[in-house]
Structure formats: C-alpha cells, structure tokens
Structure 1
Amino acid sequence: MKKISHLEEENERLGRQKILDACSLFDVMSTTLEKLPPSSIAARETTGSMIILANMIVVASVSSNSQQVFPDDLLLELLKLILHLDVEIRFSGHQIFSVLLIPNSNHVRRDTDASTSNQTIRWSSDTAYVFASVTSLLG
C-alpha cells in the first residue's frame, strides 16, 4: 500500500506542475503495470489507481488540446492486464484502455444537428487519430 500512496503523491505533484505532455505519465503507468503485485488485493488497488491516473491524463489532454501517440510499452501491459486471470483486474484493464483510447466515451453528449437529433453521440473526430496510432502499433 506504500507504493500506491507514493504513486498518488507523485500524481498530485505532477498535476500541480500542469504537465501537458502525457508521455512521462504513460511511462509511470507502463512501469507500474509491468510490476503488478502478485496479490489480487494489491493488484486491484494498483489498477484502481491506474484508472484514476488515466482519467487525469485524459482531462489534461482535453484541456490542452494535445494529441498523444499511444506508447508500445503501455499497450503491451494493458493487453496483459486484459488477459489477467482475475476478472476484476481484467475489467480494470478494459476500463483503463477505453479511457485512454476513447476519451469521450465516458462523456456522452447530444448532437444538436436536426438530422441527427435525439441520437447519442459517443465518438469524436479526434478518435480517428488514436485508432490510427493503435492500429500502427498492432500492425
């Protein structure tokens, strides 16, 4: 649990500095997930912290209008997490991945265009950039 509180303190420090480039935070996530504790309880707590960090990255990226390339190391660690034996940890892996890959997926909005009124829009044009980045990593 000491590791988790240290990670939370580091997140707060980085947040106060208003780091707009998420690369260093992606590295923190990748390294943390690579060293995921074997204990299910500690692993769940760690992945919970990673969900919080992923949301912080998305908020910072949206407010700065910056686009980030999805890092290879983080993609590999998230794929391992998604294949984890523990169902809750797998679910956390999916949550982290979806928050980072499709930032607007958690913020549903209504389209005001008359032709598509009353339809819920969950995608952004910026999403294509993220998909292209991940596709190139997988290809």
Structure 2
Amino acid sequence: MNITLTVNGQAYSLDVEPRRVLGDVLREECGLTGTHLGCEQGVCGACTVVVDGRAVRSCLMLAVQCDGRSVRTVEGLAGPGGEPHPLQSAFSAEHALQCGFCTPGFLMLAAAALESDPAIAADPERLRELLTSNLCRCTGYEPIRRAIVRAAVRP
C-alpha cells in the first residue's frame, strides 16, 4: 500500500506491506533508528512514539494505520537549532539512563504526557502510574521520575 507519513515534520511517501508495524517502517524505511523495538508485544514501551499527540507502541500499530497522520520520534525532540529538549537535558542531569535501550520510549511517553497535561509531573501518584507503562531494567525509575519533574518545572 502507498502511504504518506509526516515524521518529525518531514513527509515520507512509502510503499509498505499492510502487515508491517510502524516501528519497523520508521527504522527501516525512514532510517530513524532511535525507536527501539524490544519485546514486540507492546509490553516494554521501548518503541513508544507519538502519533497525533498521543504516545503509542509502534510495535503494535500498523504503518498503514498512520497514513496521513503525524508521527514524532525521539529524533524529533530536539529543537530547531539542535538544542536538546528539556526532557533530554533533564534525563542527562538526573542520570536517568544507563544502558539507554528504554530511554527513547520513556522520553516520548513523557513528552506526550507533559504536552497534554503538564500537571502530571506535580502529582506523584499519576506520574508513578504513567511510568509503570514502560520497563527499565537499569535505573530503578527514580532518576526517570526526577528527570520528568525537572523538565516540567524548567523555565
């Protein structure tokens, strides 16, 4: 099928098999390898991207479902001049990454959450619930939580 995706502001006209998942198309057809595919069952959250403002698991969404839609990947977080997104700076400052495999998914999950409801960072219970949707085997989640709070209060 011929589809058009707008990924990080750039239009891609692609010919994809209907059964291909968005994560594979982003990595293989668009060359955007920042999106990591972990469990490929929607459990780990490493493949999280933002589609039309909502965080989604790119391993569970077919690319054809995104025809004509806007997709944002971790490569699209940095500002126009290449300056890091506040979340990227906060993750670095709070040491919220170790191996880095889950980091793109957490960044995209947090970006979508903060853009839709900035108050989530001030509510420890809601933030904890948000973070339970993605898995990290290295950080223990506390640095990730601190980074999201830091990014939310950054002027």
Provide TM-score, normalisation by structure 2: 0.28
Higher relative contact order (Cα pairs below 8 Å, separated by 6+ residues): 2
Bigger radius of gyration: 1
| Structure with the higher strand share, 1 or 2 | 2
| Structure with the higher helix share, 1 or 2 | 1
